[in-house]
Amino acid sequence: MNYHAPVDDIAFALHHAAGLDRALAEGLYPDLSPDLIEAVLTEAGRFASDVIAPLNRIGDQFGTPFKDGTVTTPPGWKAAYTAWAAAGWNGLAAPVEWQGQGLPQALNAACIEMWNAASMAFGIGPVLTMAAVDALADYGSDELKRAYLSKLVTGEWMGTMQLTEPQAGSDVGALRTKAERAPDGSYRLTGSKIFITYGEHDLTDNIIHFVLARLPDAPAGTKGISLFLVPKFLLNGDGSLGKRNDVRAHSIEHKMGIHASPTCTMVYGDDGGAVGYLIGEEHRGMLCMFTMMNRARLAVGLQGVAIAERATQQALAYAKDRRQGRAPGAADGSSPIIDYPDVRRMLLTMRGLTRAARAICYATAVALDRSHLAKEAEARAAGQGRASLLTPVAKAFATDIGVEVASLGVQVHGGMGFIEETGAAQHYRDARIAAIYEGTNGIQAIDLVTRKLPLEDGAVMRAYLKELSEIIERIRTANDPALGAIAERLAEALASLERATQWLLARLKSEPNAALAGATPYLRLFGVTAGGCMLAQEALAAQRLANGADTASRVATARFFAENIAVQAEGLERTITQGADTVVAAFPDAAA
Amino acid sequence: MNYHAPVDDIAFALHHAAGLDRALAEGLYPDLSPDLIEAVLTEAGRFASDVIAPLNRIGDQFGTPFKDGTVTTPPGWKAAYTAWAAAGWNGLAAPVEWQGQGLPQALNAACIEMWNAASMAFGIGPVLTMAAVDALADYGSDELKRAYLSKLVTGEWMGTMQLTEPQAGSDVGALRTKAERAPDGSYRLTGSKIFITYGEHDLTDNIIHFVLARLPDAPAGTKGISLFLVPKFLLNGDGSLGKRNDVRAHSIEHKMGIHASPTCTMVYGDDGGAVGYLIGEEHRGMLCMFTMMNRARLAVGLQGVAIAERATQQALAYAKDRRQGRAPGAADGSSPIIDYPDVRRMLLTMRGLTRAARAICYATAVALDRSHLAKEAEARAAGQGRASLLTPVAKAFATDIGVEVASLGVQVHGGMGFIEETGAAQHYRDARIAAIYEGTNGIQAIDLVTRKLPLEDGAVMRAYLKELSEIIERIRTANDPALGAIAERLAEALASLERATQWLLARLKSEPNAALAGATPYLRLFGVTAGGCMLAQEALAAQRLANGADTASRVATARFFAENIAVQAEGLERTITQGADTVVAAFPDAAA
């Protein structure tokens, strides 16, 4: 079935869970009216549902045939991409001076979710172009910006992000691609890269590669890496396309999912060296790349939300339509399977996890906006801290639940879920990559525990915990029986999160392995606690707005989540604080 | 990479976790020597690893092309199947009088795991033949047995199990395939079936379909269903193959996984009616089918163990080989990723879940043996009760963890996991079906709660809980620091299981929806508690045997499981006993 962008739900999450309303009230977005927000979301939803979504299955079946160094995208993809770019979507949050729309990252996050729910394979391409725009805008020379930035902002050209080499995956510092200084101030790159998303394709006339490489005199490790802009076609003096650069796609991967996203092995310098231009300073490439990576990480988190939303929609529609037997309490005849409590639990789990992950991702985007737009330096710093803290959670929690929700979506369909034509299986296959790329979820968890928790001596995390406790306090104060045990369950979850945080911080230096052993369960604990609080916040807002069925739905989702999912918190806490020994001990591999 | 049958590990689980040693001591298997057990497992392991496993990827890529009603199996499959059947594996646990080996179901279970670890698509075919053998042996007329049973036991012919129709999936009672009485005492079937595993293929000269259908005067629902044997080729008087019967494969499904297992739509009676022979009594087909289904359910649980084992082996090998960065505490250079605590947690989770599920499945098989072989009627009844209780847990817990472990296996591989040639992705795709077919895992959970817990007024479950508590008591009494907090954590898990059991039993009649809402988390709670206890039992046995590294490995696995996985118990208990209201309340679908 097709995807219908849940524009109302997305707007509600932005306004009431992610803090857009508060940011609007504070004056963070002086030019942003409620009407504009609604218009943008509605139009994006229409484009995603009507134009992109119908291409998702075609893309899965057609893939991206590779021949003689060229990639053919599936039928209809180029037209859709061109229309999408022409409508200005690629530059939604990009600077106005470079032909962007200058709208908030928060709105862009909502749109990125919709593009990816329509098709993850479609959505991941622009994600990388947008990340490239950020890096170029922040660190590029004026000359490079003038030559490339507007074209990337409008999407007339697409960008790629090239870190990975066979020996350098999670360990970026091990990369070997070489860059040598040329007399004209440019560089010549030789080497190869693997797993390059949209490394070659026919959607745009030029492709601008953002490539990490190492200068001959570079220090070892990540401190010796520089970032280069390497266009597929060099530009003539007038900006028109000139000579083909010495970078080529050598092959594409045969992947389990996102078949319409070409994943390329790239070769540099078969013919003497690809011309590249330095971005930022020599040996400081990781700094620039982190700008790209953080944006891309949030966007990949949004892919998790997106695939979860699409899987949930499809499962819900199936469960209402498919009839089997007589559900308990039904008068007779054939009940829709949604009437069975076990199926309902699956659907409620899917919806709860999806909405929780969405709220976390959008809150990250609002924090990013605050880090740029707030008038006071202190507020900007707070926004930066919050965005840094939440980014690994947004990426890993949302993509983990993307896999889980897609798997439940298959299960709701029964045997039909395993048949490819139903579509549920594609979501399950597509979802899996998001937990891996842009830094595996294990890397995200380690980033959260070792770099984000200690930010400002723990003050960034403390401020967040305080905010969560205030939400719980508002639920408690409401003292409304309809809210069930939300306050109690979330308070318990928060207490677990607080204790686990203290435990980890106390061991970061003295017992790093013990802290690292708990990183993944800790990130999950963070996600279920924060997600539960955000859904509770949605429930309170919904009660205030008193929208009948919608209010009932949000209260029910928040209750279900608190009473069925947030209760995992204590077990997770114990895994973190009492289970590390069993992980740190030598791996028992003698018997396998 | 290829699969290496973990024969020692399998033997250990049989002897020390599943209760084979105790059964041997009790005299349940008078003809079974330790040497024979070892010889059978070793030879099965060799065949699985050397002959079947190398076909797994070929099968995935080739699939089973369908043309003009015929199915072609992948290159090498027919030769492998023929050799496998000729070696007597199909009839391992079948009656000697029908050319079987008469060996225990427990041994057969171990072998079924190995066939399916080698290739799920290969293994599922014989699973259905073996189930057909059971039904025919238990309920078939002497004439039918003489004509068909030996051929099915030897695997010269294969069997199928045909329940599902488009409108009749989980609700078998809704099936419409018609059977009409013919003057000669046989029947004529018309109608169609879907999702028929190995419904058509070229592995054997004849295929014997076991088909549920409805007589014209049948009562509605499951009480009006009869079971028929419908051969693809009718037999001549001398038993040789005669006329083609009026049953044909109409098409095959394009599935996400197990590509080499042909899943067929079958059509009966295009030419007047397929000749069928009644098995058991008219309208009592469900009784016979339950014999088939219970065996098949255990076997599908073993598929979950199998795919988990294979995914674990592959991830472990990769994690030892793949080097990235410097792990904490490492002197320098590039550490194998197994040295990172987060990767180690994934591997320990994979191993712990796999071994726990294996022990549960094997224990189910030993109970099945006891239900047939015990001298005393009371012991047979106890075996029957235990097998009935454990079968849904074996099926659903093992296949749920099959999906989870396969997913972790992809994650351990990082980007390589998403590339099909690595093989981890195939496991993730293949694993998914086992949670669906032979009764979805939701159906298993409902079966456990509504039919199995109340067996003998709860006495069957009470006896099992008592047995688990005795294991915990043995751990406590050992009072060995090496066992860490195993006793405490498992005692807590068991207490949660006991309270949840009481809660559900108290509500089965008065609030059926509340009980049903907790069925899936309850089955999980059952699985982690029982699995944890069985791993603890393995740890104790390993300490007794003092096998150095193997002992250390088993103790470490049991500790990891108790302290990191069994701690989920309390959260699951609360989901069951405090979360039902949020499920039973109307589904909040207004906003989606």
Residue range B268-288, pLDDT digits in tens: 999 999 999 999 999 999 999
Copy the structure tokens of residue B237. Answer: 């008087």
3-state helix, strand, coil in chain A (%, to 5): 65, 10, 25
CA distance A415 to B253: 11
Q: Do B591 and A553 touch (CB under 8 A)?
A: yes
Q: Where are the extended beta strands (E) located within A7-71?
A: 66-67, 70-71
Q: Which residues contact A39 (CB under 8 A, 6 or more apart)?
A: none
Nearest to A338 among B167, B312, B587 (CB): B587
CA distance B150 to A409: 42
Query: Does A332 lie at the interface with B, CB-CB under 8 angstroms?
Result: no
- Rounded to whole angstroms, what are the CA distances from A378 to A138, A168, A371, A463, A522? 21, 38, 9, 13, 28
Partners of residue A578 in chain B, C-beta under 8 Å: 485, 563, 567
Residue of A nearest to B483 (CA): A582
- Give A255's strand partners: B419
Is A589 a residue whose pLDDT tops 60? no
Q: Which of A218, A219, A217, A225 is nearest to A175 (CA)?
A: A225
DSSP strand pairing (A158-162 vs A207-214):
parallel
- Window B:2-21, CB contacts with A under 8 Å: 6, 8-9, 12
The structure's pTM equals: 0.98
Q: How far is A18 from chain B (nearest CA, A)?
A: 18
Other C-beta atoms lying within 10 Å of the C-beta of residue A75: 11
Residue range B113-130, pLDDT digits in tens: 999 999 999 999 999 999
Residue B414, pLDDT score? 97
Q: Which of A181, A219, A32, A203 is nearest to A110 (CA)?
A: A32
pLDDT band with cut points at 50, 70 and 90 for residue A53: very high
Q: Catalytic amino acids of A?
A: 438
Partners of residue A341 in chain B, C-beta under 8 Å: 513-514, 516-517, 519, 580, 583-584
pLDDT band with cut points at 50, 70 and 90 for residue A592: very low
Q: Which residues contact B479 (CB under 8 A, 6 or more apart)?
A: none
Helix B105-118 and helix B34-47: axis angle, to 10°? 20
Query: Does A166 lie at the interface with B, CB-CB under 8 angstroms?
Result: no
- Cβ contact A397:A523 at 8 Å: yes
pLDDT band with cut points at 50, 70 and 90 for residue B586: low
- Cβ contact B126:B80 at 8 Å: no
Residue of B nearest to A13 (CA): B591
Residue A590, pLDDT score? 33
Q: How far is A509 from chain B (nearest CA, A)?
A: 11
Is A237 a residue whose pLDDT tops 80? yes
Residue B358, pLDDT score? 98
pLDDT band with cut points at 50, 70 and 90 for residue B591: very low
- Quote the ipTM score: 0.97
DSSP codes, A134-171? HHHHHH--HHHIIIIIHHHHHTSSEEEEE--BTTBSS-
CA distance A150 to A153: 5
Q: Do A442 and B342 touch (CB under 8 A)?
A: yes
CA distance B576 to A462: 33
pLDDT band with cut points at 50, 70 and 90 for residue A334: confident
Residue of B nearest to A557 (CA): B588
Q: Do A582 and B574 touch (CB under 8 A)?
A: no
- Window A:373-432, CB contacts with B under 8 Å: 403, 407, 410-411, 414-415, 417-421, 425, 428-429, 432
**In the block, residue with structure tokens 């306090």:** A473
Alpha helices in A264-340 (DSSP H): 285-321
CA distance B167 to A192: 54
**Average pLDDT score, chain A:** 96
Residue A10, pLDDT score? 98
Residue range A84-130, pLDDT digits in tens: 999 999 999 999 999 999 999 999 999 999 999 999 999 999 999 99
Q: Which of A272, A78, A104, A262 is nearest to A187 (CA)?
A: A272
Q: Which of B254, B154, B164 is nearest to B213 (CA)?
A: B164
Partners of residue B421 in chain A, C-beta under 8 Å: 254
Average pLDDT in the B132-155 region? 97
Copy the structure tokens of residue B94. Answer: 């079948």
Query: Does A256 lie at the interface with B, CB-CB under 8 angstroms?
Result: yes
Domains of chain A: 7-154 (1.10.540.10), 158-286 (2.40.110.20), 453-583 (no CATH)
Partners of residue A433 in chain B, C-beta under 8 Å: 418
Task: Specify the DSSP class assigned to residue A168.
Answer: B
Q: How far is B553 from chain A (nearest CA, A)?
A: 4
Read off the amino acid at residue B158. M
CA distance A57 to B229: 40
Size of interface A-B (CB pairs under 8 A): 304
Residue range A121-152, pLDDT digits in tens: 999 999 999 999 999 999 999 999 999 999 99
CA distance B34 to A475: 63
Exposure string of B438-469, with b = 16+ CB inside 10 Å and e = fewer, is bbbbbbbbbbbbbebbbeeeeebbeebbeebb
Query: Does A511 lie at the interface with B, CB-CB under 8 angstroms?
Result: no
CA distance A254 to A248: 18
- Cβ contact B180:B188 at 8 Å: yes
Residue of B nearest to A446 (CA): B342
Q: Do A415 and B195 touch (CB under 8 A)?
A: yes
CA angle A513, A519, A524 (to 5 degrees): 160
Q: Do B592 and A313 touch (CB under 8 A)?
A: yes
